[in-house]
Amino acid sequence: MKIGHIELPNSLFVAPMAGVTDRPFRQLCKRLGAGYAVSEMVTSRRDLWDSLKTSRRADHAGETAPIAVQIAGTDAAMMAEAAVYNIDRGAQIIDINMGCPAKKVCNKWAGSALMQDEPLALAIVEAVVAACAPRGVPVTLKMRTGWCARVRNAVAIARAAEQAGIAMVTVHGRTREQGYQGDAEYDTIAAVKAAVRIPVVANGDVDSPRKARDVLRATGADALMIGRAAQGRPWIFREIAHFLATGEELEAPEVLQAKHWLLEHLDDHYGLYGEFSGVRTARKHIGWAVRALPGGEAFRDAMNRIETCDAQARAVAEWFDRLADRHRRLPRAGVAANDDHLTRQA
C-alpha cells in the first residue's frame, strides 16, 4: 500500500477524529497494528495557528513516520498556506477534510459542506496539490458519499480530485445529512473505487475483523479506515490484521496487557497536555477503555472526580489489577458489567 511515493506497513488506517486522534493516541494505535494514522484537523486560519490547541495538533515530536496532517477550511489560498505551514512542522502527507459533519465546521462551509460546492472543492484541491508537489508531499482527500441522499456526488468529486493530483481518497459511507446515524452504505464506495485508479479507502462502521473482511469484499477498497471502533479498543488493528491474514480471530488481550497499554498511553498523554488539561482530557480515553468491562461504568464515575495525573494513573492501575484477579483476559463484547466491587477502592 502506497500513498504517492510513501510505502505503508499495512492497509489499516486510523481515522482523523477531533479531540481523539492526538499524537499519543495515534502512536498507541500504530504500536497496536495500524499502518497509518491521520491527525486531528488543523484549521487553515492563520490567526489560530498560535493557539494552544493548534500548536499541540502541529506537534509531532517523536511520532513515527509517515506523519499525516488533516487541514480544514474554505479558502483555496489559505488551505495551500496551511499545507505549507504543516509541512514545515513535519507533515509528510497532507489530507484535505471534506468529510467532517460537525455543525460548527459545516456552518462555515468547511468539512463535508464543501461537497455542495464542487467548483470550490476542486479549487481547494488544486491549490493544496500545487503547494505540496514541489515539496514532494502527497495530498489525500477524505469525504462522504455526498451532502444528502438525493446528492451522492462522491464519484464526481473523486474523479476530479484524481485529475487534480490527489494521491488517495477516503470515503465515509454516509452523507453529511446522516451524520453518524443509520448504517454506512458501501455501494457508493465501490462506485468510487471503480471510477478511479488511485487508492480508495473505505470508512464507516468497521468495528470487527469480520466486518472488515466484508467491507473489503463489498467495496474492493485498497484499505480500511477505522475511527470510533478504536476508541478504548486500539488493539482492533492487530485483530483485523490477524484475521485478514489467517481467517482466525485473536483471543482478547490479557487484562494486565491492556493495563500496560493504557498506562503507557496516559503517560504520553500527560506529557503532551500537562497536569491540568491532561487529567481532564484523559478521562474520555479511560472511559472508553473501561465502558464495556465489568464495573466499568461505576469506575468511570469515580475516576472523573480525580484531579491529578498521578492519582488518575494510580486509580487506573489499581482498578485493572482488581479486574485481573477475576478475569485473565478482557471479556468479549456483551459480557454484563456487574462487578461493582471493582470500584470500591477507586
**Residue from 243, 149, 240, 161 nearest 200 by CA:** 161
Catalytic annotation on 309?
A: no
Give the torsion sign (CA, 109, 111, 116, 119).
positive
Q: Cell match 482527500: residue?
A: 141
Catalytic residue among 100, 106, 132, 309: 100
Distance linking the first and last C-alpha atoms of the chain: 45
C-alpha cell at 283: 478521562
**Residue from 45, 42, 163 nearest 91 by CA:** 42
C-alpha distances (whole Å) from 92 to each of 5, 24, 197, 298 are 11, 18, 22, 42
Would you name the residues annotated as active-site residues? 100
